[in-house]
Amino acid sequence: MTVQDVRAFNRFYTNLIGALDYSRQLYVPYTLTEARVLYELAHSPRTDAADLRGELGLDAGYLSRILNRFEGDGLIERVPSPEDPRRRRVSLTALGRETAALLAERSNAAVGSLLATVPASERPRLAEAMRTIRELLSEGARQPGREDVVLREPGPGDLGWIVQRNGASYAAEYGWNADYEGLVARIVADYAQDHDPHLERVWIAELDGRRVGCVMCVRDEAPATARLRLLLVEPEARGLGIGDRLVGAVVDFARGVGYRELTLWTNDVLAAARRIYQRHGFALVDEKPHRSFGKDLVGQDWRLDLRATPE
């Protein structure tokens, strides 16, 4: 590969992105850079102005003008950071979240139109090529850390991804058959068709724009009891504390909405997940052997008393 090859690709990609922003209407009334700032505020835990500047590589004065405009439009609020009063904590208002969601919807529709021109059979190859470019050009750069992971609510396609990745991952790592994927599909379908958004929730873990994990919190049959389900972390993203953060999110949510107990069912072969549950205070209350998913397993029931004071 030569320098000219890279420059030719850059010209092609720049023209392609420009075509997506047809007539510059994609982010109206905001610019592309302003839309990027809104995206970071909606998805990143690093919401201090200084962190935004470093994340996006923006000049301090330029970012300040953008934030001033957002504040004037009622999109953000700025308050002193509780960790360091010298820094300013920036957060989206309800209008800001609506605006960010609208811009994201437009962008998703534009990219969806582009992908519609690619045959479905070729899309995995396209995705792999994109991952390869990012990985090769990122070698030697800062390795991702826990702070780079974003936990967010599911969007279009995410619930289907949960089913697909659970089925594929457990087949590859533990040899489980399609019965497990069928079980996951039923759990996800039940949630999609009938869930209480105030008492039930799904989290998607995202790293560099890629989905790398998930978990669910749903109502259990027992009164005032929630159930943790479908904890998953992709192999390439393990070691970043994602599983711990996902379980912590479920525990905090369940306690916050008033559940008295949190329960889960797992199998003894899932040792790493069990260690996470134990760190969050879950206790093993029952286990029994069973034949499921084409394997002889030992199922385990774990429970956490949410009324106990967290350590």
pLDDT in tens, 163-215: 999 999 999 999 999 999 999 999 999 999 989 999 999 999 998 778 999 99
Confidence of residue 287 (pLDDT cuts 50, 70, 90): very high
Give the containing element (helix H, strand E) for 259: none
Tell me the per-residue pLDDT of 75-114, one tens digit each, with 9 for 90 and over: 888 887 766 677 777 888 889 888 888 888 887 777 787 7
* Helix, strand, coil share of the chain (percent; to 5): 50, 20, 25
Nearest 5°: the CA angle 61, 67, 68 is 85
Among positive and negative, which fits the CA dihedral 153, 154, 159, 162?
A: negative
Q: Specify the pairing of strand 283-292 against strand 225-233.
A: unpaired
146-305 CATH pick, 3.40.630.30, 3.40.710.10, 3.40.50.150, 3.40.50.2300: 3.40.630.30
Region label for 216, one of left (φ > 0), alpha (ψ between -120 and 50) or beta (otherwise): beta
Is the pLDDT assigned to residue 23 strictly greater than 50?
no
Cβ–Cβ under 8 Å, residues 205 and 242: yes
Name which of 103, 118, 2 is nearest 43 in CA terms.
103
132: helix, coil or strand? Answer: helix
| Mean residue pLDDT across the chain | 85
Residue 137 has pLDDT above 80, yes or no: no
CA 94 to chain centroid, in Å, comes to: 21
For residue range 222-231, list pLDDT tens digits in order.
899 999 999 9
Q: Rg of the Cα trace of the chain?
A: 22
Q: Per-residue pLDDT for 284 more than 80? A: yes
Identify which has the larger pLDDT, 283 or 35.
Answer: 283
The reply to whether the predicted model has a pTM over 0.75 is no
The reported pLDDT for the residue numbered 308 is 76
Could you tell me which residues come within 8 angstroms of residue 68 by beta carbon, excluding any fewer than 6 positions away?
none
Q: Rounded distance, CA 71 to CA 69, Å?
A: 5
Q: What is the CATH number of domain 3-138?
A: 1.10.10.10
- The confidence score (pLDDT) of residue 101 equals 85
Domain extents in the chain:
3-138, 146-305
